[in-house]
Amino acid sequence: MHPPPASRICTRVPALLALLAGLTSALGFAPLQWWPVTLAALALWLWVVHQAPTLKAALWRSWLFGVAHFTIGNNWIQHAFDFQDRMPPALGYVAVVGLALYLAIYPMLAGGIAWKLGRRSGRPDLAYVAIAAAAWIATEYARAIVFTGYAWNPIGVIWVPTPLRGLATITGTYTLSGLTVLLSGTILLAPTRVRRTGVLAVFALLMGWFLWRGDTPARIAATPDAPRVRVVQPNFPQEAVRSPGYDQRLLERQIELSGTPGRAPRLIVWPEGTVNYYLEDGYPPEWYDAPPALLRARIASILGPRDVALVGGTALNFDPRSQLTGAGNSVFALTPDTRIAGRYDKAHLVPGGEYLPLRSILQPLGLSRLVMGDIDFAPGPGPATLTLPGFGQVGMQICYEIIFSGQVVDRAHRPAFLFNPSNDAWFGTWGPPQHLAQARLRATEEGLPILRATPTGISAVIDASGALVATIPAGRADAIEVPLPAPHAPTLFARVGNWMALLAIVLLCGLAIAIRRRAR
């Protein structure tokens, strides 16, 4: 046998390095949170792209990086198929890789832009790294909006367990991601191998220090009469959904965990979709399994005179002929007098999970089996603020709505806190801590506390700096009751939003142009 030509080896090694960089870059996300590894992996990606002989090679290497990165980061998606009776669980692995093949387009574009506009012969320089950072910001933002967006795990979320997450109050998530790429480039800019090794050693020491230090929960000083929040986690796994008496047992478990009234007013929050009976009046009689007034009274029985409950359930929409037209993934605000004081309908629905896109085309192909029901959820109008008696204004973001930076608050009616009910029982072991990390980044960006209630964990109270006040770990039936954290003044990002991303792109490109002109 003849050895492979040297040209073929030279082609394969950078491709393998790109795959390695992509695989290791995802280790900075929860639950591992090895963020220095992500920094080193991004530096390796920057290097293999810079060394590409052609634009085509740079695009290919960046796409391979993205495929590996998103396959590891989104591995939890497979777990959702374990509960889909109409689809084989093995298809979940295909779905993870298939999604990664698409999502890899965005780092591919970032790498292509960096190579085309920033690369010069020789070693990578600051201008190249700045262009790569600007391209990453632009493409990561595009990933969050194209085809309704998939903003899961932006690179900037690796900083959540560190004090550097505080930069998000100014930069927002996408600019923070770009600055992360810029920081990774400093490894390449160190002029000697000894110095590059030194930079990596510093990153490793910092990782060890943060892992040892942990994330200290915030402390809240409050008077005995100050409003309190009680987060309920019933710990009913997804596989129990079809067991006999599930709906009633789940309702009673949540009522039991909601505790009893005390001196202070309580805001009791339940997870997404865990009241499987219809709470609103006015539906055609055949839709009710139990009278809604009695169900509301049963829940209200746990409330003191100044308490309010936020419960996740389903709303139905009917036309004038009483024909069902759609459903809402909703949160209902219940008061002690059994009144529904407000309702929020999820606006950012999951394609293929809560509705079937292009139903007239895809349903005949059998793809309606992807969605759980026979009818699509209908989207609500967008971020909304409800006024709760005794608790002020609360913003609502159901489940993965919370991952969309700059899209979680009604800026005309800024709330005092956000409620983020979710059903993370679908998300395996990696999904829930990743979801929590992204919620913490939203709290930091907006300067608002966030209450998270999930059926199986991780439920949490997050303060306005993104610190964890209290949590319930996965797999435990429990409740936490703490004083309601106070909001911060609106952050710079809360005022400006994702215009900060555009400003960062302009500044980074300007820096690259200035460096190039100076070099001439």
pLDDT of residue 226: 86
pLDDT at 369: 46
Q: CA dist 492 to 168, 171, 180, Å?
A: 9, 8, 20
Res 260: pLDDT: 92
pLDDT given at position 214:
52
26, 69 contact by CB (below 8 A): yes
**What DSSP line would sit under 238-280, residue for residue?**
GGGTTSTTHHHHHHHHHHHHT----SS-EEEE--TT---S---
Quote the pLDDT of residue 362.
Answer: 45
Nearest to 35 by CA among 169, 193, 204: 204
Tell which residue, 222, 225, 306, has the closest CA to residue 264. 225
- Beta strands 266-269 and 228-233 are parallel
What was the pLDDT predicted at 361?
44
Three-state secondary structure call for residue 486: coil
- Cα separations (Å) of 153 from 3, 140, 431, 435? 42, 10, 10, 9
Unique residue bearing structure tokens 């963020």: 35
For residues 269 and 232, the answer to whether their CB atoms sit within 8 Å is yes
Q: What are phi and psi of 232, to 5 degrees?
A: -105, 130
Sequence-distant (≥ 6) Cβ neighbours of residue 71 within 8 angstroms: 22, 96, 97, 100
- Per-residue confidence of the chain (520 residues) as pLDDT tens digits? 454 554 455 568 899 999 999 999 999 999 999 998 999 999 999 999 999 999 999 999 999 999 999 999 999 988 777 666 556 667 778 888 999 999 999 999 999 999 999 888 778 889 999 999 999 999 999 999 998 899 999 999 999 998 889 999 999 999 999 999 999 998 888 765 555 566 556 656 655 655 555 555 556 656 777 899 999 999 987 767 777 888 899 999 999 999 999 889 999 999 998 998 999 999 999 899 889 999 999 999 999 999 999 999 999 988 888 888 888 899 999 999 999 999 999 998 877 666 555 454 444 434 444 555 566 788 888 899 999 988 999 999 999 899 999 999 999 999 999 999 999 888 889 999 999 999 999 999 999 999 999 999 899 999 999 999 999 999 999 999 999 999 999 999 999 999 999 999 999 999 999 988 886 6
Write down the pLDDT at residue 200: 58
Burial-class residue 87 by CB neighbours within 10 Å (0-12, 13-18, 19+): middle
d(CA 192, CA 248): 67
- State phi, psi for 481 to the nearest 5 degrees: -130, 120
Q: State the DSSP code for 115.
A: I
Instruction: Give the single-character DSSP code of 417.
Output: E
